Structure 1
Amino acid sequence: QERYNSITQSYQRGAEFILICFDITEQSSFVAAKAWCEKSKQNALPGAKIYIIANKLDLEDQREVEKQVIEHYIEKQQLPLIEVSAKSGKNIDLLIETICKDFIKKEEIKEPIMIQPIITEFDQQKIDKCC
């Protein structure tokens, strides 16, 4: 993950939405996700939305990262959590729908762009002449 550090910083700089995924079957993955979250907060735009994505929900019986631990972290950090399974597709639609709804809300908050018409006057005599 260290070799991706400099690459992700440049991408995060202009990001409005950041998804940080971790594997629920590996405690070290959750620890790394928390570190990525802190780095993302430093590098992203102010007000960027960060999502915590708990993956491999299909391997619930092999879970190493307890739900209570995750919930405590996301409550403390005030981040949304979505548990998914990339393999089975469980909650992937929910993830996409949530991000899209948040994007629409964010766009509605932005001030509308005011477009001013440009009015130009033409010399009718020059237009009527050919060649």
Structure 2
Amino acid sequence: MTAKVDLKVVLLGREASGKTCLVDRYLHDRFNFGVNQATVGAAFGAKKLQIGGHTITMGIWDTAGSERYEAMSRIYYRGAKAAITCFDVMDPTSFERLKFWVNELRNNEEHCKLYICGTKVDIAEGNRSGRVDVHSVSDYADEVHARYFDTSSKTGQGIQELFTAIAEDFIQSESKTRTLAADGATVPLARRDPVGSGRSAEPAGGCCA
């Protein structure tokens, strides 16, 4: 079954950075503790939202984090309006890997809005000395013009706020584009999504891909 997707969102990040758990909590309000089967290729989910009198359908692509699937991930982020780049707040190497995807998007999808997402903050509460420095992440987010959110798929912390912000930013951007068009300004044509942003696929992953 296909459905029209207004807002294509892609999740990128290292394997086991919590991407699949993040989507599962947002779409289904659940957390499957202990399930960590890696996503293969990508999984798709969609949600209809009512934001400020607007109705939109958000399509979310959860991509595989393994480096061997990088080429495939590039297919899925094409045409995305928003990208959530995830890192495990207790894993500095996952934050360094996040920078790779930020550079990818900046070089290939310049109109895609970036959101940096720190995951598993519930674990950091008991071990603050071991987590990635919040100020370093915040400074980096400012540097690349991204919005930064800390989240926990276990407790739900920050997840609704993250996706609501994405939807609100999209609506604001679309309203601005329509205003420019009405005023006669030149507006760039949207790129076609080669994988079909409205195409549904069965989830192929577990909790913490």
Class of the TM-score when normalised by the shorter of the 2 chains = 0.7 to 0.9
Aligned counterparts of 1:96 and 1:38: Cα–Cα separation in 2: 22
Aligned residue pairs, count: 113
Aligned counterparts of 1:39 and 1:96: Cα–Cα separation in 2: 22
The answer on 1:4 being equivalent to 2:69 is yes
Unaligned runs of 5+ in 1: 115-131
Q: How much has 1:67 moved relative to structure 2?
A: 0.7
Contact persistence 2:105–2:112 (CA under 8 A): no
Aligned counterparts of 1:74 and 1:90: Cα–Cα separation in 2: 20
| TM-score, scaled to structure 2 | 0.50
Q: How much has 1:110 moved relative to structure 2?
A: 2.2
Aligned counterparts of 2:173 and 2:139: Cα–Cα separation in 1: 26
The answer on 1:95 being equivalent to 2:129 is no
Q: How much has 1:89 moved relative to structure 2?
A: 0.4
Superposition misfits of 4+ residues, deviation over 6 angstroms:
none
Residue of structure 2 aligned with 1:43, choices 92, 108, 115: 108
Contact persistence 1:53–1:82 (CA under 8 A): yes
Q: Point out the structure with the larger helix share.
A: 1
Contact persistence 1:50–1:80 (CA under 8 A): yes
Query: What is the match of residue 143 of structure 2?
Result: 76
The answer on 1:31 being equivalent to 2:96 is yes
Query: What is the match of residue 86 of structure 2?
Result: 21
Higher RCO (CA-CA < 8 Å; seq separation 6+): 2
Q: How much has 1:79 moved relative to structure 2?
A: 1.0
The one-letter code matched in structure 2 to 1:110 is T
Q: How much has 1:69 moved relative to structure 2?
A: 1.2
Aligned counterparts of 1:33 and 1:69: Cα–Cα separation in 2: 13
Q: Secondary structure at the match of 2:174?
A: helix
Query: What is the match of residue 126 of structure 1?
Result: none
Percent identity reads: 28
The one-letter code matched in structure 2 to 1:80 is R
| TM-score, scaled to structure 1 | 0.78
Unaligned runs of 5+ in 2: 1-65, 183-209
Aligned counterparts of 2:178 and 2:167: Cα–Cα separation in 1: 19
